[in-house]
Amino acid sequence: MGETPDIEMCLSGRDITEPRPTPDGDAVIFLSRPSGEACSFVEVSVDGGPEKILEIDTPPAAGRGGSGGVWCFADEDDAIVYVAHDGTLRVWPDRTRPATTLLSAMDGPIESPVPVVGRNSVVVTADRGSVWVIAIGNGGVERLDDGRHDFCADPAVISDGGTQVVTWQGWSVPDMPWDHSAQVRCNLDAHSITVIEGKGQQQQITGSPHGVLSLRDDSGWLNVWCDETLLIADAAEHGGPSWGASQRSFAISPDGEHLAFTRNLDGFGELCVYSFDAQKWEPIGRGVHHQVHWGHGGITALRSGARTPNQLIAYQLERGSSPTDSERWVRTVLGVGPSEKWASTELSEPSCEETVSDGYRISFRRYGAGLGRCLVHIHGGPTDQWQVEFLPRVAYWQSRGWDVIIPDPRGSTGHGRSFTQALHGEWGRADVDDVAAVISECQRRGWSTPSTTVVMGSSSGGMAVLGVLINHPKSVAGGIALYPVSDAASLAGATHRFEAHYNDSLIGPPGDPRYEERSMVGRADFIRQPLLLMHGTEDLVVPVAQSRALRDTLHASGVEVRYTEFEGEGHGLRNPEHRRREYELVGAFLHDVIDG
């Protein structure tokens, strides 16, 4: 039968983030952060073998999932420039010695260092609002952007006719980067700026011998483009939304003749190789891949799947074979993140299902247990998607006899630009109706009944939970909301800079009557089903005051609400003890609501 997941398995292990091949291609360096501990640099051979923790006097900042933005190699040597845990930018000249030196400390978080070859300098962003070039020798700084965009992210250095050009993604209020973002280029010699606009978003801008590569969704799908031409026309997304810094869902080969890129197929993932000469691609690996790089030793990436705990892998091509020959790639696991106990656990892939809501096809994935009860788990964002990756929480509740249902309501990514944009002006209504349609479909198929269905979500997913309890109270037995948005109108003045204007597109400009119509705390009197509510006291995205007000309103209405605050936590639980407590609270709530 294999190992049954327990809470300790879900909490143990480590996060593996931001792997990069060394300049010679013989090894990979990545960030490793064991649960509850500091982050460190780790090196492993591209052929596999023992890992080596690299000693360093100032630990690096922690990576985040499939994003990057913490470190880079300086110029073409082995020196490393990285963002430290204290937010400063540091230089590590010799990996055989722990000594580092301070390079720069700036106003606002530093992200995404990239080298400027031949100039002994790096380019970074500060607070995602400005772009700077910093000299490694003396720490001298120079601002490159001209302030025309409110936000700047993900810089890269490319060659344009022999001239070095720094390029980045820029966007301005009221847009979010996935609504509309431009490609900005700064000529380092002439100090001139050129802006290339498209119909939608542009991200992951990268140089190549064929032109400037990027992801754009002008065609309706987030695909790879070369300059102003759609390179790979595909009714599948080649990347995700720009929540984190320096995502890498495609990579050019060292000789410039091939491209590795990812595809999202209804949440399932695959890695493919495209030939510029033959203008065709072939898949070389299943699973969701992040942080894709192609060095002299092959393709490296972070890989995950429903039955594949997060791992660092290398794809190496058999000598003399064509990169588009999918059978000639050999995959080697270089490192694993979660507890080794997961290797002996029988995990299952979900089935892809769908229903219709308001004329839209709504996809959802079912991790079936077949015991007649459903836990409908809604992703946050709302501009996001939970792909078919390793999800310990899902495996845990499935092993406890729950069908775990993962819906993609309107606003989710992975289904094309029009589906994501369909939530504009409709947040708190369309996504709630879509989740309710998924719940109804699950019950129509006999997987559960209203008395054996619970809806769960965090952040914007928590807002959808509240919406289901308010608008569709007879469809579920209860709800679980972690740090939910319950008063969208107050977010603009309280949340962090990146999302301060997010509601302008999701609902409307400040003062729009739809804010009152969609206020969950304002309509909380309609909630009758029990609610489990959790929030961190230091949440800078959704202030804890929102959940306190919701708790008080429900108490006054006589509704059962179990409320827990986690001291010192922000938007999401990081402390292992708090995460353990979450599992315990959810388990007790599910038992009492369904079996009690």
pLDDT of res. 341: 93
**Helix, strand, coil content of the chain in percent (nearest 5):** 20, 40, 45
For the chain, how far is it from start to end, CA to CA, in angstroms? 29
pLDDT of res. 262: 98
The predicted model gives 36-55 an average pLDDT of: 95
Tens-place pLDDT, residues 212-247: 999 999 999 999 999 999 999 999 999 999 999 999
Work out the percent of the chain whose per-residue pLDDT is above 70.
Answer: 100
Tens-place pLDDT, residues 507-521: 999 999 999 999 999
Cβ(476)–Cβ(455) below 8 Å: yes
Tens-place pLDDT, residues 545-592: 999 999 999 999 999 999 999 999 999 999 999 999 999 999 999 999
Q: Phi/psi at 445 (nearest 5 deg)?
A: -80, 0
H or E stretch including 589? helix 576-590
pLDDT of res. 76: 64
Please provide the DSSP assignment of 190-228 as one string.
T--EEEE--SS-EEEEEEETTEEEEEE-TTSS-EEEETT
pLDDT of res. 78: 83
Is pLDDT at 116 greater than 90 in this prediction? yes
Is pLDDT at 284 greater than 60 in this prediction? yes
Read off the pLDDT band of 253 (50, 70, 90): very high
Closest CA to 369 of 387, 354, 386, 347: 347
Kind of pairing between the strands at 211-216 and 202-208: antiparallel
Specify the range with the lowest mean pLDDT, choosing from 50-54, 117-121, 207-211: 117-121
- Report which of residues 2 and 258 the model is more confident about: 258
pLDDT of res. 199: 96
| DSSP conformation class of 511 | T
Which tokens go with 55? Answer: 């000693």
Side-chain-facing half-sphere of 311: CA atoms under 13 Å: 19
Closest CA to 359 of 434, 261, 296, 247: 434
Read off the pLDDT band of 160 (50, 70, 90): confident
Query: What letter represents residue 41's amino acid?
Result: F
Query: What letter represents residue 185's amino acid?
Result: R
Work out the percent of the chain whose per-residue pLDDT is above 90.
Answer: 92
The predicted model gives 265-288 an average pLDDT of: 97
Is pLDDT at 1 greater than 60 in this prediction? no
pLDDT of res. 104: 86
- Residue the block writes with tokens 């001291």: 567
pLDDT of res. 63: 85
Task: Give the neighbor-by-neighbor strand order of the sheet with 308-317.
Answer: 288-295, 298-305, 308-317, 329-336
Domain ranges of the chain: 1-50+250-347, 351-595
Q: How far apart are CA 454 and CA 475, in angstroms?
A: 9
Tens-place pLDDT, residues 14-32: 999 999 999 999 999 999 9
Is pLDDT at 151 greater than 70 in this prediction? yes
The predicted model gives 470-490 an average pLDDT of: 96
The predicted model gives 34-61 an average pLDDT of: 95
Is pLDDT at 495 greater than 70 in this prediction? yes
SS3 314: strand
Question: Under CATH, what is the fold of the domain 351-595?
Answer: Rossmann fold (3.40.50)
